[in-house]
Structure 1
Amino acid sequence: MPAKRRSPTKAEIEAIFDAFSAHDPEPKGELDYVNLFTLLVAVVLSAQATDVGVNKATKALFAIADTPEKMVALGEDGIREHIKTIGLYRNKAKNVFLLSKALIADHNSAVPDSREALEKLPGVGRKTANVVLNIGFGQPTIAVDTHLFRVGNRTGIAPGKTPLAVELSLLKRVPKRHLLHAHHWLILHGRYICKARKPECYHCIISQWCRYEPKTAGPKSPG
């Protein structure tokens, strides 16, 4: 990922997140859910899958199984039938079934609000836990997916060789007033503007502070 040597300054990083905030004051994730349990399930299913694809599969699933008890009653086979359009659906169906049983047995059917407890559930890793803590419980966590990892490195905001390194760097560098929404802004920016193959730098709201070079030119006018 080509980048200038100097990372953005503290003032520039503040300007970057102020720009994100002005552009989209209340960013939202793009996964559909109806409660904390379905949020957790949706995030587990979203690993190596698109939010659009997950939403299509979970619409019917959540209509009949929006609690751990209902999901267990549906059974692993029933879950699998609903999510078979999603990548890795067999293993994901198993994890959803098992995490539903674990919630009933260990948490009185409630989704826990700590990373440690969440990461003990089948199919839940650090990124999934961070998403649930952020969206479901309003905690200022950073969930590093491929989009955010790319943006952190490409812009110079939070360079790192691993998702954890990028996450920890962001937690130190993002202004505290912006931490709650930071991961949404960066993920959406990577998904729609700072794309992997053809970043759309010509209408990027943070391009003046970004360390990525060369900038991508805009589309040519016809004629």
Structure 2
Amino acid sequence: MTLTDGTYRLGPSTGRLLIRTGRAGLGRRAGHDLTIEATRWSGEAIVAVRDPDRSSVSVTVETGSLEVREGAGGLKALTDTDRAEIKRTLADKALLHIAEHPTITFRSTGITGTPQSFEITGELTIKGQTHWVTVQGKGSDAGPLRGWATVTQSTWGIKPYTAFLGALRLADDVRVEFEVARLEPADGPGLPPHAGQV
């Protein structure tokens, strides 16, 4: 995907936002490595290709929109009942507490690099707590923009899920990934869509 200067909308119509979990503990063979997708999210990217300091990204995710897409590993296949139970668990106070904290937000504070290899630093707010996170990203003319960040759940006051008296637990670190297949120009003022094509 070729980037040009401008202000763009982000969301499910332009890409995907995924969370990938891992397992820990003696009972990890019984669980699944989960792929969870945010189905309702929105954002804005301001792109200044030749001056990345002028670029920025902001994203808001509805915590109630997280859906389990895949469950790898485990002693048995992930069922629809399992998916529904995981969704209920995510809503719990010990995890995301979505009744009190209906959104997760990210606001960039700095962007460096090129459209082919870039780094975004910013503030991630989960459950009312804000901490720094670094996102690594890559792009090419022939494919989508992709990126990832490691989020340590306990830093944001999230207690990783446990079962079997703690023998099975989710790893504290989860991997957040994004893929942007196309950019939709946003309405309103922004950087002019002219110079900066790469």
Q: Which TM-score bucket, shorter chain as reference?
A: under 0.3
Which structure: larger Rg? 1
The answer to which structure, 1 or 2, has the higher relative contact order (CA under 8 A, 6+ apart) is 2
Q: TM-score, normalized by length of structure 2? A: 0.22
Q: TM-score, normalized by length of structure 1? A: 0.20
Specify which structure has the higher proportion of helix: 1
